[in-house]
Structure 1
């Protein structure tokens, strides 16, 4: 039997989707183009009509002229549309018109669904809102791999801590955005893995580590046809990212990226077209008419290099449909959020909810009689609820539009169930308010925020002077474990050393404006917690043992001495059991794995729902390479989400690529497949191996 379709809707096969993106109406607001000619041919034809000054004008922005953060004017003579660029990777950022776009869950929250259909729907909805706001370049997705657990921007990145997860999710996210004729922007290239000293830190990373750990998510974006890249502020091996000939050559030549590279805002340090930069943002301090004409005159730059940059911009504009999309800055004040997008936000939040603990199957509360009383404890449950991170990735909502846990639970509770608010986060006040009250269930709402520009102080919920851990412990002192639920909103990995006295723990990475409704859906059993951890939760701060030289660096240099041993790879290599492992998350049913069959690179097995209700399972395939490969013990190489009725089973099939069984050879500067035995693990997390087999390569 085939698994049931995912709840986020059916998505066309990848080949069909690409065709839909590449070919569209042959006429638009800015001129016409032929379906029969390739996008590059169209770009070359346009290039041949352009003057040198017209070409130069495409190589830089004109400043942060509102309403968009980046602007390249139209060429009215030739009918080339303007480029109207705006933040960010999680929706259209519009501080002046709050509430006119949908505050979706953050990228890490959607990554927690491990669902390519969900990712595509997310990208498509965001792309539609950008288009309706008159923007044609979305400054996202963010696809960096989380090296440092306290990185302040981990919530913005769809890769979690794993390069394969990032590769698999970046593609449909890009396709979703660009299905709306809005150009996606993969960022930040490359090794932008910390916010501390982000404007000038020198990241020292060896070639093999870059290729195996940090490039793959960007490769996923390239394979999906992403139109643009953003180079980062930091240096890589002593050279600024936006003028680094090594990493930009890797991108454009070795990885085959045919779009353009723009700088992060203010990340240009020289006239670096010859190194591989195509466009300076947001203005023209270095890539302007005077400096370029002087460079052409003295021979340090030639017009062919300028032509290459312009063609790299025009090609995706033709391919994705920018010429066919009307851009009008007056549209920016429009309310482009729709009921469908709000509902999608709610569904993404519930399907990204991760159930870490569920003693005695406490959840879901789907068998209530109608006379129960529930207390929601903490200001995080109401006026201080956390929905989003800060920085360029924040989407602004109108006052009163965000659904708090308290409102979501009282609106979503079965008829007759009372939901009260204990509106204090003072531990002693909360404990006193609960004493002597006969609540059937208590939901303690906690959380911690994060922002671009600064790394987190630590992984505790008590960071920055908060008392959320004390609140949980105080409530646990007066409420029986069988009644106590903790709901945490978080930016990434956290410490959960407070969970011993708690019956159930639900975590959401920044879940967007529908958090309260999504939380109620999960608690009352209308939805299951569909999320699985895209990050490892450690037992203590800095469990992986970063030295100061590793992070945040000494004298402006951070050395990646751990090489590939980040996240779960470190735990498996050192045989340390984390608090909650990568890939982990509980559901409301139970699944059985059986009948593993391996034929060449094809791996199949049977998955059965042996529980009493419909539920989803994220099946994961990890590979251990031969010892001679000198690789981490286990690495994710395939996964899939399956929804099955109670009693239903399906055959799961994975076809491994040769690349999945290869290492990067520094000697040959290429992928190399070694002879030997490759162990295959079928798992529900890195710590929950269900089936095991092997492939022998001779």
Structure 2
């Protein structure tokens, strides 16, 4: 890495104006180049589900990983490091220097709309998982970005919400994963849109301390996209880079602020020095460094398939799983999600995979030549209509699969035209003079009836079917949220009657009014089947099958960036499907396809229950491996699942008067459940494998010095008939503490593996930080002397052993 004195010399070569120019993006995804110091542009890309690159183009495909909640469920840092390497490989393939991942915010409430992009409800699990991914990305010369600093844990009013929380909750819970990211060497930290304690995060003192002060972060503090709204406050703070560009509050105002002394030149120099240090790290300064070569496609598929199984959580198994393929003649695979699963959450993290293996595909592939697989979708879960796609539509000019995208001027003259593969066009190239985006297609209906059509976007929207206008209205822009404006604009839908097999010509257009973005979405959906007959078909299929697998899940209405959920229900139709099928086949296997917790009122009626999250492109292969015993379900819950939303102790996502109070303090997730005395459906840390374990011996020191690590040795025996993996979890408690504490909190974990009948011993390392608490008012971190309870268990609610250690020494007085 380039020495600081060398960086200082480079900074000294630049005028104030050139320094300022470097600190605002040159484009949406690039920083500015500076020939005078040998600096090239650096390219950023969204993550963490994959590396999309600079364009929202469905033809530019990306590898799609399981969602962050699925990765949090693995409790496997080695796997996360491998997946980080895969992200680095994808970044190199796409010419990307900086990946905007990982997301280190927490599952504070089950209603969080962006649950899928965060790892866990617990700061320790989030910290270790995120640090592993960071190391995996950066060891190959690609930068990771810890986001969104800090307390950006829900989506409602996310651009302006002011979060209020105690000093202890801030430091012990919400900052903890970011501190671990800095310890892991992360190269960027992204400041969120929200405020904390009355100050927006892009101007917050926390960027100075603890981030750059106590923690010693030497990287770049970058804004979330368009999160910088003022110049002086943010520039005087420790923010280093305002994205995107080239226009923004810093572009001209920052130069004036430095020249008139409102922003010190030394502060400007520090920002530029950090940017150059980042450029050196990623090979954008001087001679380019070595970067990881692309991962072969077969190796990518194997890794992602393994990740699916590793994150799948088995929460119930009445001796049903694994299924024996040799004992099956007919297998019924039920539910719309079996053939059309949700592979990723909605919003800016979305990518376009080149291939996707559905659960139905995976099961059929595994049973090919052995058993007959039948599929009945059951009643529709009422998803939003899907964008036009090549399977149903053709370019009206060429007849090739896809749609025709045209840009027109104000007089309707064609400026550009190209065939695209999707009716979802988020960032089409716009030639000079573009006034209207038009998407047209020949649609061949496979069903007679009232089809649903829609156009998404802001401004004037029109839609015609065979020359007949069915929609013409103006949708004013009513939000500043970039995820809504640029990724998931609102849909306006209409219905039109179509006849099976008779092609119709659809033409949708959107006028490009100033400030309405470029996103245009055109959707179409056939008439929904009668729910009763669809349910009867599924029940009949289940009744005649040797094994039944029913897949249910959330829709794009439920889990997406830009809005929180209002309930946890899968909807009556999906609940009725599972209940009806389980009634005729009690050994039914239910698979839940969601990014976060949902209500499962039928959970005790099925023979087995798997939580599959949003599993990414290899969903079906990994799920089949678990179902048929080729792989163990390796997941353990990274967040507690409530039986019903009414039971959940923390649910608030909606600000009052612009403020969102974290009134629960330290007590989120399982901590809140333990404090309330209520029992959830499934505890944090819960998960079953295909074997059983006996906790035979636990050894822990009876006394440790203050700031001394604690090592807990646990001996287990595999009491089942298969080799397996167990996640040994160590929690701490401090009865009688002089300060408020959780009932218990996760302090460390380790994984154990053993063959049937064999013993194994694992050591769980508990770092000194796990015993510390934050002393408000300048007291800093403190360790309270005295007895601590050590709880070893399989989940937050299932202790297997309890003991005690005494922390010696007196606590020093506050400074």
CA contact (8 A) 2:378 2:535 kept: no
When residues 247 and 539 of structure 1 are mapped into structure 2, their CA distance, relative to the original with a 3 A threshold, is: farther
Aligned pairs (5 A) from 1:334-349: 338-349=297-308
CA contact (8 A) 2:61 2:351 kept: no
Structure 1 counterpart of 2:550, from 441, 444, 466: 444
Match of 1:613 in 2: 722
Indicate whether 1:651 and 2:761 are aligned.
yes
Structure 1 counterpart of 2:586, from 463, 481, 484: 481
When residues 516 and 429 of structure 1 are mapped into structure 2, their CA distance, relative to the original with a 3 A threshold, is: farther
Unaligned runs of 5+ in 2: 381-530, 705-709, 809-815
Indicate whether 1:282 and 2:219 are aligned.
no
Structure 1 counterpart of 2:85, from 124, 127, 131: 124
Structure 1 counterpart of 2:101, from 130, 140, 155: 140
Instruction: Give 3-state SS (helix, strand or coil) of 2:213's partner.
Output: helix
Deviations 1:599-631 (A, max 9, x none): 232211212212111111111000002422310
CA contact (8 A) 1:571 1:577 kept: yes
Structure richer in helix, relative to its length: 1
Match of 2:403 in 1: none
Match of 1:392 in 2: 348
CA contact (8 A) 1:182 1:322 kept: no
Structure 1 counterpart of 2:32, from 73, 76, 82: 73
Deviations 1:282-332 (A, max 9, x none): 0255554532232123211121001111112222333454448869xxxxx
Indicate whether 1:584 and 2:686 are aligned.
yes
CA shift for structure 1 position 50? 2.7
When residues 555 and 528 of structure 1 are mapped into structure 2, their CA distance, relative to the original with a 3 A threshold, is: same
Deviations 1:411-467 (A, max 9, x none): 1127422111113335633442233842111111111141111112311111xxx72
Instruction: Give 3-state SS (helix, strand or coil) of 2:210's partner.
Output: helix
Match of 1:30 in 2: none
Indicate whether 1:52 and 2:8 are aligned.
no
CA contact (8 A) 1:166 1:220 kept: no
Match of 1:199 in 2: 159
Instruction: Give 3-state SS (helix, strand or coil) of 1:442's partner.
Output: strand
Match of 1:11 in 2: none
Distance 1:650 1:42 in 2: 52
CA contact (8 A) 1:534 1:583 kept: yes
Q: Which moved more, 1:318-327 or 1:45-54?
A: 318-327
Structure richer in strand, relative to its length: 2
Match of 1:373 in 2: 330
CA contact (8 A) 1:350 1:527 kept: yes
Distance 1:589 1:178 in 2: 36
Distance 1:370 1:500 in 2: 25
Q: Calculate the TM-score normalised by the size of structure 1.
A: 0.88
Q: Calculate the TM-score normalised by the size of structure 2.
A: 0.75
Indicate whether 1:350 and 2:454 are aligned.
no
Distance 1:544 1:421 in 2: 35
Indicate whether 1:519 and 2:519 are aligned.
no
Unaligned runs of 5+ in 1: 1-34, 65-69, 328-333
CA shift for structure 1 position 83? 1.3
* Bigger CA radius of gyration: 2
Distance 1:657 1:423 in 2: 49
CA contact (8 A) 2:752 2:761 kept: no
Aligned pairs (5 A) from 1:400-415: 401-413=355-367, 415=369
CA shift for structure 1 position 544? 3.5
Q: How many residues matched? A: 640
Aligned-pair Cα RMSD in Å: 2.2
Match of 2:672 in 1: 570
Indicate whether 1:309 and 2:276 are aligned.
no
Distance 1:316 1:594 in 2: 50
CA shift for structure 1 position 74? 2.0
Deviations 1:59-98 (A, max 9, x none): 110232xxxxx21122223211211111122211253144
Instruction: Give 3-state SS (helix, strand or coil) of 2:763's partner.
Output: strand
Match of 2:117 in 1: 156
CA contact (8 A) 1:551 1:559 kept: no
Deviations 1:242-282 (A, max 9, x none): 11124543222122211111111111121212111111110
CA contact (8 A) 1:206 1:563 kept: yes
Distance 2:711 2:48 in 1: 35
CA shift for structure 1 position 369? 3.1
CA contact (8 A) 1:597 1:605 kept: yes
Distance 2:246 2:283 in 1: 26
Indicate whether 1:108 and 2:69 are aligned.
yes
Indicate whether 1:681 and 2:788 are aligned.
no
Q: Which moved more, 1:109-118 or 1:389-398?
A: 389-398
CA contact (8 A) 1:413 1:520 kept: no
Instruction: Give 3-state SS (helix, strand or coil) of 1:444's partner.
Output: strand
When residues 429 and 116 of structure 1 are mapped into structure 2, their CA distance, relative to the original with a 3 A threshold, is: same
Instruction: Give 3-state SS (helix, strand or coil) of 2:35's partner.
Output: coil
CA contact (8 A) 2:38 2:286 kept: no
CA contact (8 A) 1:179 1:320 kept: no
Distance 2:247 2:284 in 1: 27
CA shift for structure 1 position 389? 0.7
Indicate whether 1:625 and 2:766 are aligned.
no
Distance 2:34 2:762 in 1: 52
Structure 1 counterpart of 2:374, from 420, 424, 446: 420
Distance 1:321 1:638 in 2: 36
Indicate whether 1:235 and 2:171 are aligned.
no
Match of 1:539 in 2: 643
Match of 1:457 in 2: 566
Instruction: Give 3-state SS (helix, strand or coil) of 1:89's partner.
Output: coil
CA shift for structure 1 position 44? 2.4
Match of 2:460 in 1: none
Distance 1:649 1:88 in 2: 40
